[in-house]
Amino acid sequence: MSKFGIAGLQLSLDDGDNLDQIESEVAAVCARLPWVQMVVLGELASFGPSLARAQPLPGPAEQRLQAVARRHSVWLLPGSLYERRDDRIFNTAPVINPDGTVVTRCRKLFPFLPYEQGVEPGSEFCVFDVPQVGRFGVSICYDMWFPETTRSLCWLGAELILHPTMTNTVDRDAELAIVRASAATNQCYFLDVCVAGRLGNGRSIACGPGGEVLYQAGEGRDIWALEIDPEHVRRTREAGWHRLGQTLKSFRDSTAVFPAYGAGVAPSAALTRYGAMRYPRGRGEA
């Protein structure tokens, strides 16, 4: 099995406890679209942007979300919430499997400074495997403004990037361009799910590995679902999008030294699977 159903929940949320609404919306989309295998929400969906609502992980909110995933037997990325660890706060997105187990937690690498004051940056790139489907990566909102984050996730083998967002500023249009460019330059699916209502201006977007727009939401509440195919990513990375540029292979094989890092390209076990740089096979060839 490769094709995989994902629903994006662009919810109109308040700055407060939104867990009842999230639970109801997940139940509704799973009942209406039983082929959906994963549900993704926007950044800080559970409680909004108040640091006062930060809580430890594991904790009661996460446990409730685990029960939701288990009840509906779906993968659940419930956006993020502020996590309190000792005297530090992180912007953290748990990834919960259909058994209700937290398989990983993504801590936002780049808090939105100078505005997201008091939030510590994470230090690890978050990837996880969905058995018999593929490898997924997670980043959060402002992370995508730094192209190294998406490139690093794909360098670790991610074929689809899940990206919870809470944008309510005039730069949302720029973010839509970043999503398209990130998908095209990394030959991956990129699903950006933004919140709506008082907390965000919506306009979630899902793109394929050529930067093509698969869906773009409006500004209000929008529940959308689509089927992705990781095999399409693998073919694109091996032969090029519409048999054009084999971008990741060119980057993988480069000997350039990048002044920003003082180093060249590091080896990637994940990208060796796509073989050597060559012309795509012709008609009639296997």
Q: Is residue 284 part of a domain?
A: no
pLDDT in tens, 220-229: 999 999 999 9
Containing structural domain, residue 204: 4-237
Alpha helices in the chain (DSSP H): 19-32, 60-72, 147-155, 172-186, 230-239, 247-252
- Where would I find the beta strands (DSSP E) of the chain? 4-10, 12-13, 38-41, 75-77, 81-85, 88-96, 102-107, 126-130, 134-138, 160-165, 189-194, 196-197, 205-207, 213-216, 222-228
pLDDT in tens, 131-177: 999 999 999 999 999 999 999 999 999 999 999 999 999 999 999 99
What's the pLDDT band for 283 if we cut at 50, 70, 90?
low
Domain total for the chain? 1
Rounded to an integer, the average pLDDT of 267-273 is 92
CATH code: domain of residue 44: 3.60.110.10
Q: Is residue 55 part of a domain?
A: yes
Q: Give burial (CB, 10 Å; 0-12/13-18/19+) of 12.
A: middle
pLDDT in tens, 245-263: 999 999 999 999 999 998 8
Q: Is residue 166 part of a domain?
A: yes
- Pairing between strand 134-138 and 126-130? antiparallel
The whole-number pLDDT of residue 8 equals: 98
Q: What are φ and ψ of residue 4, in 5° steps?
A: -145, 130
**Residue (of 132, 181, 190, 131) closest to 159 by Cα position:** 190
Q: Is residue 247 part of a domain?
A: no
Q: Is residue 286 part of a domain?
A: no
The whole-number pLDDT of residue 281 equals: 74
Rounded to an integer, the average pLDDT of 205-212 is 98
The whole-number pLDDT of residue 96 equals: 98
